[in-house]
């Protein structure tokens, strides 16, 4: 969205916070073209509505799985509901309100008989000490950051293997860092000890670990960010927005303040000047692949959700869609690809989580910003019905091109033709302006194709492969061995580094 749209939206949300009733954004607001694949997606991945209790508002901001198979949901209104029966074939689940009085829950985990709740103002341990199934103990684990403005959201990860949580702190009013540590990622140890871990955030939408156990967060399009992106987080890394630099004086563990980035350059060139600058791991081309990307989760359902095991699934608020992403490391730098997955959800998606039975639970709201989905809030379940779609399963980089792996074998007479593959490339400016155009566009020529003996993958060699570009792969002409067209024709790969040989690509383990 542009600056004026954003300002208008902030006014709407500000009115909401002082008691005005919500008004649906004007239908004329542009949220982007549809992929046009909803009808075919339904054949493989139907959407099931989860009935909600009457007169109950559940604007899901975070989910957590409980050891007994129930699912908990934390809401924007600061409530925690425990849901029983979410995986039933024809769901009519039972909702129990466990806690209330919290503030915009965007992180929820279950550990040691308690919930770990990330809310705007703090990380809180919430538990039931007397056994009546109602929370009665609220303990502050960490409040090592400021909170004074409605837009100062905080997103919390699940605990890592050592029990640490990571909190991604959005800026004040979306543009500034007026409150302590806003624009930082904070690391909270199991004993509550809190340290600054990374800087340069603008407006995060979620944080967590990918399929390799590496820490990532979602960044929104805006100043110093021309598109939404998935960014890899390491200790001391800087993620592009300099508003949080003043707080380095209170966070010596971060080391020296990064060099001020130059506006109007490119990330690839600024990486040479700004030692801590982390490039975007996966860029989601604006509008074509989301507009306000939010939380993500990893598919580790052991095949219950189809052919996309160990991939990230991400929701988008504005377009009411779910996308996929895959990541890999090249020369020690994270990068990867994004793919369309499912459109047609009923509200703006704030959170996604796989249920115990391997179904993808989605939830959110349409409050405050333009949203395609017409419902003010909803819980929905995407499930795989066992039919195999013909899809680009993943894209990985090669020294002179890309390897495309498919969910079904290719029809060789079509797959071996260079004209069956189109490649387009672009980059973005790295600047202080809000958003930005796709620039330096060009179309590399496909020079040769190598198909595996079983037809499961194709390696394409192109004449121009450069770091710092997003590569759009359009494979609309391909057919499977049973003459089926691809469900989704496109994938977008962000190339930060180019391998000199195959062994330089790894999963980061």
Residues 172/184, Cβ–Cβ less than 8 Å: no
Distances (CA, A) of 77 to 52, 152, 484: 15, 15, 46
Those residues whose C-beta lies under 8 Å from the C-beta of residue 176, and which sit 6 or more positions away, are 182, 243
Question: In this structure, are strands 505-506 and 321-330 parallel, antiparallel, or unpaired?
Answer: antiparallel
| Average pLDDT estimate for 328-335 | 97
Those residues whose C-beta lies under 8 Å from the C-beta of residue 473, and which sit 6 or more positions away, are 392, 395, 402, 404, 421, 422, 423, 460, 490, 491, 492, 493
The fold adopted by the segment(s) 392-495 is Immunoglobulin-like (2.60.40)
Using pLDDT thresholds of 50, 70 and 90, give the confidence band for residue 508.
low
pLDDT digits (tens, 9 = 90+) for 229-244: 999 999 999 999 999 9
The fold adopted by the segment(s) 37-382 is Neuraminidase (2.120.10)
Q: What is the pLDDT of residue 504?
A: 64
Using pLDDT thresholds of 50, 70 and 90, give the confidence band for residue 507.
low
485 or 502, greater pLDDT: 485
For residue 506, pLDDT beyond 90: no
**What's the CA gap between 37 and 321, in Å, rounded?**
11
Q: What is the pLDDT of residue 8?
A: 36
For residue 407, pLDDT beyond 50: yes
Predicted TM-score (pTM) of the model is 0.92
Give phi and psi for 241, each to the nearest 5: -100, 120
Question: Coil, strand or helix: which one is 412?
Answer: helix
| Average pLDDT estimate for 2-18 | 34
pLDDT digits (tens, 9 = 90+) for 336-353: 999 999 999 999 999 999
For residue 26, pLDDT beyond 70: no
| Average per-residue pLDDT for the chain | 93
Using pLDDT thresholds of 50, 70 and 90, give the confidence band for residue 211.
confident
| Average pLDDT estimate for 480-495 | 98
Q: What is the pLDDT of residue 37?
A: 97
Q: What is the pLDDT of residue 502?
A: 67
pLDDT digits (tens, 9 = 90+) for 439-487: 999 999 999 999 999 999 999 999 999 999 999 999 999 999 999 999 9
Alpha-carbon dihedral sign for residues 495, 497, 501, 505? negative
Using pLDDT thresholds of 50, 70 and 90, give the confidence band for residue 32.
confident
What H or E segment, with its residue span, contains residue 423? strand 422-427
DSSP 286-333: TBBTBSSEEEEEE--STTTT-S-TT-EEEEETTTTEEEEEEEEEETTE
Q: What is the pLDDT of residue 369?
A: 80
For residue 1, pLDDT beyond 50: no
Using pLDDT thresholds of 50, 70 and 90, give the confidence band for residue 31.
confident
Those residues whose C-beta lies under 8 Å from the C-beta of residue 339, and which sit 6 or more positions away, are 323, 324, 325, 326, 391, 392, 488, 490, 491, 492
Q: What is the pLDDT of residue 503?
A: 61
Those residues whose C-beta lies under 8 Å from the C-beta of residue 417, and which sit 6 or more positions away, are 449, 477
| Average pLDDT estimate for 15-29 | 36
Residues 276/248, Cβ–Cβ less than 8 Å: no
Residue percentage of the chain with pLDDT more than 90: 89
| Average pLDDT estimate for 108-119 | 97
219 or 2, greater pLDDT: 219
**Residue ranges of the domains in the chain?**
37-382, 392-495
Residue percentage of the chain with pLDDT more than 70: 93
pLDDT digits (tens, 9 = 90+) for 131-183: 999 999 999 999 999 999 888 999 999 999 999 999 999 999 989 999 999 99
Q: What is the pLDDT of residue 416?
A: 97
**What's the CA gap between 258 and 232, in Å, rounded?**
17
Q: What is the pLDDT of residue 25?
A: 39
Using pLDDT thresholds of 50, 70 and 90, give the confidence band for residue 13.
very low
Q: What is the pLDDT of residue 29?
A: 54
Give phi and psi for 252, each to the nearest 5: -60, -20
Q: Is 231 exposed, middle or buried (0-12, 13-18, 19+ CB in 10 A)?
A: buried
Alpha-carbon dihedral sign for residues 187, 188, 189, 195? positive
For residue 2, pLDDT beyond 60: no
């Amino acid at each position: 969205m542009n600056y004026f749209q954003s300002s208008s939206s902030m006014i709407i949300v500000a009115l909401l916070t002082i008691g005005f009733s919500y008004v649906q954004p004007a239908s004329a607001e542009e949220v982007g073209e549809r992929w046009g694949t909803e009808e075919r997606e339904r054949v493989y991945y139907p959407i099931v509505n989860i009935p909600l209790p009457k007169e109950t508002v559940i604007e899901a901001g975070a989910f957590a799985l409980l050891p007994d198979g129930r699912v908990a949901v934390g809401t924007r209104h600061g409530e925690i509901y425990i849901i029983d029966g979410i995986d039933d074939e024809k769901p009519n689940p039972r909702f129990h309100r466990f806690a209330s009085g919290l503030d915009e829950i965007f992180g929820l985990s279950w550990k040691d008989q308690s919930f770990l709740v990330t809310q705007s103002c703090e990380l809180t341990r919430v538990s039931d000490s007397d056994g009546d199934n109602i929370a009665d103990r609220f303990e502050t684990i960490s409040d090592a950051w400021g909170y004074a403005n409605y837009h100062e959201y905080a997103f919390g990860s699940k605990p890592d293997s050592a029990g640490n949580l990571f909190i991604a702190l959005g800026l004040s009013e979306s543009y500034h860092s007026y409150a302590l540590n806003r624009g930082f990622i904070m690391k909270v140890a199991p004993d509550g000890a809190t340290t600054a871990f990374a800087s340069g955030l603008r407006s995060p939408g979620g944080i967590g670990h990918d399929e390799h156990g590496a820490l990532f967060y979602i960044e929104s399009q805006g100043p110093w960010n021309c598109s939404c992106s998935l960014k890899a987080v390491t200790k001391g890394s800087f993620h592009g927005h300099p508003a949080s630099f003043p707080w380095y004086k209170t966070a010596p563990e971060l080391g020296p303040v990064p060099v001020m980035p130059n506006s109007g350059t490119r990330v690839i060139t600024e990486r040479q000047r700004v030692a801590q600058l982390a490039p975007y791991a996966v860029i989601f081309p604006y509008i074509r692949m989301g507009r306000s990307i939010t939380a993500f989760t990893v598919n580790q359902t052991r095949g219950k959700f189809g052919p996309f095991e160990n991939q990230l699934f991400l929701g988008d608020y504005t377009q009411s869609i779910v996308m996929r992403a895959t990541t890999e490391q090249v020369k020690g730098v994270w990068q990867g690809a994004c793919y369309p997955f499912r459109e047609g959800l009923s509200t703006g998606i704030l959170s996604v989580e796989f249920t115990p039975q391997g179904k993808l639970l989605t939830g959110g709201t349409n409050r405050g910003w333009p949203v395609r989905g017409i419902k003010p809030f909803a819980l929905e379940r995407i499930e795989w019905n066992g039919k195999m779609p013909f899809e680009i399963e993943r894209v990985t980089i090669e020294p002179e091109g890309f390897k495309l792996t498919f969910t079904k074998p290719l029809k060789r007479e079509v797959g071996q033709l260079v004209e069956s593959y189109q490649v387009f490339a672009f980059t973005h400016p790295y600047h202080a302006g809000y958003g930005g155009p796709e620039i330096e566009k060009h179309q590399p020529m496909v020079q040769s194709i190598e198909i595996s003996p079983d037809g499961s993958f194709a390696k394409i060699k192109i004449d121009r492969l450069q770091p710092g570009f997003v590569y759009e792969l359009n494979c609309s002409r391909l057919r499977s061995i049973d003459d089926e067209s691809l469900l989704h024709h496109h994938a977008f790969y962000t190339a930060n580094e180019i391998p000199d040989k195959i062994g330089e690509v790894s999963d980061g383990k």
